[in-house]
Amino acid sequence: MNVSIKIILTILLTIAALHPFTLQAIEDSSGIRISLQQNKNRAEEVYQEALSIMGEPESGRNYSKAAELLRQAAEDGHAEAQYSLALRYLLGQGVPKEYNEAVKWLRAAAEQGLADAQYSLGLRYQLGQNVPLNNAEAKKWTQKAADQGHLAAKFNIAYRKALQGKADDQYKLARLYYTGKGEKQNFLEAAKWFAAAAKQGHADAQFSLAVMLNDGDKIKKDLTKAARWYQKAAEQGHTNAQINLGAMYAMGSGVPKNRIKAYAWTYLAASTGNAIAQRNCEYAVTRMTPGELDVARQIAAELQQKIYPGTPLRDKTQ
């Protein structure tokens, strides 16, 4: 026999003598992995069968059978089945209404990282629904769901933060209402929370509220209020508010028509390099006298020092 082969065999026999169960343990570990995968595959098949039954036309649904299949999959560790089974217990669909069982399976799915279950469990702790009221648990589970991008959870957190009165949190909540992310789109609620933040001096909220009042297609149109909120945002350096305020002065919308003020605000916005403001200035120049332009630019320079102290106004309209 080759000497090197003899050495290798000797080493292997020595290892086997020292650790007589080593090779068997590896085989067992492999067997466990195969068994776990088989259980997982079986659980998924059973879960899909349950979904198929629940998806049948109303007359053909057998919720009791579906619930039994869900239980089988849930007991094999299938997170979606655990969550669905929890819902059956909450609704009394195919099983008796049993809130303790519902919470048990919600928790099982939540602990496996299922965002819907995490949010549902968090909401129950927040409301004291089927579980004792517990703000710490509510925040924990809701945050876990939100961290996975769960929109309703993110909205829930935003709403609770907004109630604390911070302008930025109120603005973020308003944006969620406006876009309908995590909650049904609600423009009245959006305007309400934009206004709450705007009154605290939040420039983006002031601009957003002004746009809604200006457009009038989502809340009642009010050009006077729109101009007022544009002004407040513009005075904080909000470039788009400066452009829109300039346009309102140019058209006499919500404010008396004033070409000089219109150009001053637009020129100020153009100094940041904003292309829209620059084009508006180019258009305005053709309709103003040299004297009007001089006055408007002087006003813009004064606004620049008020809004951006120590920063010179740069002409970027050329």
> What does the pLDDT look like over 94-117, one tens digit per residue?
999 999 999 999 999 999 999 999
CA atoms within 13 A on the CB side of 5: 2
Residue 43: pLDDT above 90? Answer: no
Identify the pLDDT of residue 315.
84
Identify the pLDDT of residue 19.
40
Identify the pLDDT of residue 40.
78
Identify the pLDDT of residue 12.
32
More confident residue, 267 or 29: 267
Per-residue H/E/C for the chain? CCHHHHHHHHHHHHHHHHCCCHHHHHHHHHHHHHHHHHHHHHHHHHHHHHHHHHCCCHHHCCHHHHHHHHHHHHHCCCHHHHHHHHHHHHHCCCCCCCHHHHHHHHHHHHHCCCHHHHHHHHHHHHHCCCCCCCHHHHHHHHHHHHHCCCHHHHHHHHHHHHCCCCHHHHHHHHHHHHHCCCCCCCHHHHHHHHHHHHCCCCHHHHHHHHHHHHHCCCCCCCHHHHHHHHHHHHCCCCHHHHHHHHHHHHHCCCCCCCHHHHHHHHHHHHCCCCHHHHHHHHHHHCCCCHHHHHHHHHHHHHHHHHHCCCCCCCCCCC
Phi, psi of 135 (to 5 degrees): -65, -35
Domains 66-147 and 201-318 equal at CATH topology level: yes
- What is the rounded distance in angstroms from the CA atom of residue 43 to the CA atom of residue 76? 6
Task: Tell me the percentage of the chain whose pLDDT exceeds 90.
Answer: 79
Average pLDDT value over all residues in the chain = 89
With bands split at pLDDT 50, 70 and 90, how would you rate the model's confidence at 254?
A: very high
With bands split at pLDDT 50, 70 and 90, how would you rate the model's confidence at 8?
A: very low
Residue 2: pLDDT above 70? Answer: no
Q: By mean pLDDT, which of 34-43, 102-111, 192-201, 234-243 is the weakest?
A: 34-43
Identify the pLDDT of residue 318.
59
With bands split at pLDDT 50, 70 and 90, how would you rate the model's confidence at 3?
A: very low
Identify the pLDDT of residue 183.
87
- Could you tell me which CATH class the domain 66-147 is placed in? mainly alpha
Residue 45: pLDDT above 70? Answer: yes
- What is the rounded distance in angstroms from the CA atom of residue 145 to the CA atom of residue 307? 42
Span 244-249, average pLDDT: 98
Domain boundaries, the chain: 66-147, 150-164+171-197, 201-318
Instruction: Tell me the per-residue pLDDT of 201-224, one tens digit each, with 9 for 90 and over.
Output: 999 999 999 999 999 999 999 999
Q: What is the CA radius of gyration of the chain?
A: 33
- What is the rounded distance in angstroms from the CA atom of residue 313 to the CA atom of residue 231? 19
Instruction: Tell me the per-residue pLDDT of 54-88, one tens digit each, with 9 for 90 and over.
Output: 887 764 679 999 999 999 999 999 999 999 999 99
**What superfamily in CATH does domain 201-318 come from?**
Tetratricopeptide repeat domain (1.25.40.10)
Ramachandran quadrant class, 244 (left: phi over 0; alpha: psi -120 to 50; beta: rest)? alpha
Instruction: Tell me the per-residue pLDDT of 170-213, one tens digit each, with 9 for 90 and over.
Output: 999 999 999 998 889 999 999 999 999 999 999 999 999 999 99
Residue 44: pLDDT above 60? Answer: yes
Instruction: Tell me the per-residue pLDDT of 277-307, one tens digit each, with 9 for 90 and over.
Output: 999 999 999 999 999 999 999 999 999 999 9
Could you give the angle at the alpha carbon of 185 between the alpha carbons of 189 and 120, nearest 5°? 95
Span 43-62, average pLDDT: 83
More confident residue, 81 or 20: 81
